[in-house]
Amino acid sequence: MKSLRPALMVATLLLAGCASHGSNSNEASWWNPIDWSWSALWPGNWFGSSLTVTEQGVGAINSSTPLQESALNAGLNGDYRLRQGMRSEQGGVVSFWQALTDNEVKLTFSGKETVSRIEVTDRDIASADGTRIGDVFSDHYQKAFGHCQAASGETAPAVLCQAPGSEHISYIYQGKWAGPQGLIPPDDVLKSWQVSKIIWQR
């Protein structure tokens, strides 16, 4: 019992130190087990939550989410820096928001009053079937016919393919090809192309 008491004291001091990590080092504070957030001890909270592209949207962002900074920031748990932009599209001007990490665009949100399209380029975000940026065409498809079409507006040759069994998720695959622009490359060329974007469309 004598050796148990010092061990309990050390454990208490360690807990107190952890609990007061947010306070100023120049201020004395006492640990109150009632006030402290015990949810911090839950292992699921140690690593943060990762987003997933589902039929409903990306994470908490869906077709009912206002295309506004506050709503997007809340849906992304404040994990990204947001910036707004505008572009011309079909003779009109379209507003969009981008989510960035270290000045690299990870997600792009567009729509009118609410989100109608999300483009994902973050390698840490997977679709519901586990697909991530960088996965190859042959992981999902044996041939492009019936699944894919030529994709426009990309900086490199690209095809847009509907995710198997999905109505709202599609993938942009890109790779090297010297063929005519606007045509889909042969399947033996496509098999090594990689996902460059995961797209959710309302």
Please indicate, yes or no, if residue 167 is contained in any of the structural domains.
Answer: yes
Residue 179's region, left for phi above 0, alpha for psi from -120 to 50, else beta, is beta
Could you list the residue range(s) of the whole structural domain that residue 120 is in? 52-126
Please indicate, yes or no, if residue 168 is contained in any of the structural domains.
Answer: yes
Does the pTM of the predicted model rise above 0.85? no
Domain boundary among 126, 143, 169: 126
Distances (CA, A) of 124 to 61, 112, 189: 17, 27, 27
pLDDT for residue 128 is more than 60: yes
Report pLDDT for 31: 40
Rg (CA), the chain: 24
Distances (CA, A) of 21 to 18, 33, 47, 153, 170: 5, 14, 18, 49, 44
Q: What is the pLDDT of residues 68-98, one digit of tens each?
A: 999 999 999 999 999 999 988 778 888 899 9
CATH number, domain at 152? 2.60.460.10
